[in-house]
Amino acid sequence: MALFAFFQTILLLVSLSLRTCQSEVLSEPLPLTPESLDVSINSAQRCLHLQWRVHSLAYHQELKMVFQIEISRINTSNVIWVDYYSTTVKWNQVLHWSWESELPLECATHFVRIRSRVDDARVPEPRFWSNWSSWKEVNEQNSLGHKASSVFPVDKLVEEGSNVTICYISRSHQNNVSCYLDGVRMHVEQLDPNVSAFHVNNVAFVRETGTNIFCEMDPKDDAGTVLFVSKVLEEPKDFSCETQDFKTLHCTWDPGSDTSLVRKQPYQSYTLFESFSGEKRLCEHKNWCDWQIAQDSQEMYNFTLVAENYLRKRSVNILFNLTHREENINRATLVPGGQSGLVTCSGSIQSLGGGVL
């Protein structure tokens, strides 16, 4: 009898253990279709910003999921972009994703849809894709008004060496379209009966007042714009600091080429950051800046010099030891590994890899 009771206890413990393990594995949920898809537009940066929810998630549930996003142009069957976005999704969470178009968004209607799949190790295989959301139409041409024809982008600012796509839109069906970049005729591609486009690779700096773009068609219908091409903001060279009175640090550098343009922002600015004190100073000059030495016995100064314009940031660092009095002039040493980046449609900084701004 005692032996029977012992085996009963063992079986009960094994059963409880199995239930505990099984509770850590989620049963396969129904496919979780993304809902409340909303698409906003940043025409200046040619960006579509998506946000959506997964309403079917249980209260306080978290799941690793992957979302497939499709973008079509002109019609839904013309898919031009497919991407996958993986993240951990929480109950009632708003999800975000952005896409940058090489073509100005005014040039064509775009369509967006999304679907999802659970990608969580706690959910057993097989895992299925959900249904697609409905197509979301994005049509910036509705904002063009009643103008007979237009060229986009309008007064675009880009860096020298970038690739740019230009489009010409006419209210009437186009016939014999000709487009010119500073007087040079370009090869034009017909996107639809009302829209033509052409590409400029490795665009060159021509003049500070910009590069003229002009399109015309038969019957007479013309439009134009200006492409502003900025020289690439350079990393400051020969960055150094010195003091002769131990009251002021005089920091100098070589800014390189001036990226400023007539009638178009931005001028380039320079800012000094000191990491030990956490202080910063916007410099009034492009090649030098003075820094007041602290009166609290601070000996080490770790400076970051940030050069910035509308398109890019560059930075270099120096570490300055104020106690090296054996030298008549204290000069800092450049620490390699400065920062360089382009401002993207999401506002973040990324390394330069060519392509369209």
CA distance 214 to 150: 10
CA nearest neighbour of 193 among 167, 171, 217: 171
pLDDT higher than threshold 70 for residue 346: no
**DSSP summary character for residue 145:** T
Would you say residue 177 has pLDDT above 50? yes
Higher pLDDT, 17 or 58: 58
> Position 162: which residue type?
S
Is pLDDT larger for residue 346 or for residue 357? Answer: 346
Q: What is the pLDDT of residue 20?
A: 39
pLDDT value at residue 219: 64
Tokens of 41: 């537009």
Give tens-digit pLDDT for 106-162.
999 999 999 999 988 887 777 889 999 999 999 887 666 667 789 999 989 999 999
DSSP states of 72-112: EESSTT-EEEEEEEEEEEETTPPEEEEEE-SS-GGGS-EEE
Instruction: Find the mean pLDDT for residues 175-189.
Output: 91
pTM greater than the 0.85 cutoff: no
- Does position 288 have pLDDT exceeding 90, yes or no? yes
The answer to whether 167 touches 156, Cβ cutoff 8 Å, is no
The 10s digit of each residue's pLDDT in 18-44 is 343 333 444 545 568 898 999 999 988
Q: Tell me the pLDDT band of 343, cut-offs 50, 70 and 90.
A: low
pLDDT digits (tens, 9 = 90+) for 249-269: 999 999 998 888 766 665 789
Facing residues of 95 across strands?
Answer: 52
Confidence tier at 198 by pLDDT (50, 70, 90): very high
Residue type, 134: S
Say which amino acid occupies 24. Answer: E
Mean pLDDT of 12-23: 41
